[in-house]
Structure formats: C-alpha cells, structure tokens
Amino acid sequence: MLMRSNPIYDYVERLSELLRTDSRQAGAVHGLQPVQLEVLHYLSVCNQYSNTPMAVTEYLGQTKGTVSQTLNVLEKKGLLSKQLDKNDRRIYHLKVSSKGRRLLNNTIPTTMFVNACELLTEKEQSEIENSLKKLLTTLLQANNMKTFGICRSCRYNSKIKKENYFCNLVQQPLTNDDISLICREHESNISLSET
C-alpha cells in the first residue's frame, strides 16, 4: 500500500532533524545534550509563572524524571539555580545564571541556522515566520495543547498605559520586559483565521 505523504510534514521533519543535529553539536561543546540545552533556552525566555519544573515538563512533553535529571545537570554545571517561591514553599523557581545566559548567547540560534538566515531577505524571513506561527498555532489548537505563547499576544493582557500592562488572570501588573516572555497560562487573543 502507498504511504500517505504530506510535504509540510516532510519539510518540518527534515528541518527538525537538521536543527537537532546542529543543536547536539553546539551543546556537546559545553557537555550538554540537546534536551538540556532546550530546557536552558526555555527557562531564559519564560516568565515567572512558567519557570517551575512542572511548567518545563508541560512545555517539553517529557516525563518528570527526565526533567528532574536535566535540571540537576544544569544546576551542577552552574547554569541555573533553584529559588523557593516567596508565597508557596512547596514550589521553586528555576533561574538561568549569568554563566547560562552567556552559554545561550554563544549557542542559540545555532551557527547553521544563522548562516541560512543571512541568505534570506527580511521579507522572506517575515513570511516564513508568519507561516510557521500559523502552523504551530493550528497544531496546538487542533490537539488542545497549551500555546506557551508570548505574553503580549495573550487575551488576559491589558494595556494600562504606555509600557504598563496588567494580567487579568493572575491580577498582577506586567512590565514591558514581561510581555516579551512566554507563559504557560497564555491563551491566544486571536482566532485561527487571524494568525
């Protein structure tokens, strides 16, 4: 029987393989496996409601055990630290250290990816970004998965005045920096047809 083929799937699969190989090489220089680099990267771009072991588990879709081992490796290497929550002592937050941020600056995006982007015009990069965003949003919505989107595009985000925002879910003010971070509670403020 003929295999079903989907060119979008084939392209995404090939891209994933290439990026995974490149990421493996980039991480190996620092003694890190791809999943460890991925967790460090996630923690550098997520907000204060999303930097817990539970959120990392949800984001990666990995088991608690795998995430726990990964976090221990990153902590031992001095790339992150664990800090107890001020209000709930059962929860701790994971903060990327300055050493971890330096490592990420030198590693992500990987050289292979940067080389490719340099050959694309800004318009081409913008078109690819929009298409990939639509594909990702559709995939997440079609499968009832958390979006982990950027705060500024969340339906709970209200602009109070210039550079002042408010989260209507957790009822807390948000800064200009906060709204550029990704959040486990994010819910898109646009419908699929608008993405």
Q: Rule CB under 6 A: which residues touch ligand SF4?
A: 47, 49, 151, 154, 156-157, 167, 169-170, 183, 185-186
**Least distance (Å) between residue 150 CB and ligand SF4:** 8
Task: Provide the 3-class DSSP secondary structure of residue 79.
Answer: coil
**Least distance (Å) between residue 165 CB and ligand SF4:** 8
**Least distance (Å) between residue 148 CB and ligand SF4:** 9
Q: Which is nearer to ligand SF4, 27 or 149 (CB)?
A: 149
Q: Which is nearer to ligand SF4, 55 or 154 (CB)?
A: 154
**Least distance (Å) between residue 83 CB and ligand SF4:** 19
Question: H-helix or E-strand containing 54?
Answer: helix 53-60
- Buried (b) or exposed (e) across 112-145, using 16+ Cβ within 10 A? ebeeeeeeeeeeeeeeeeeeeeeeebeeeeeeee
Round to whole Å and give the CA distance between 122 and 99: 31
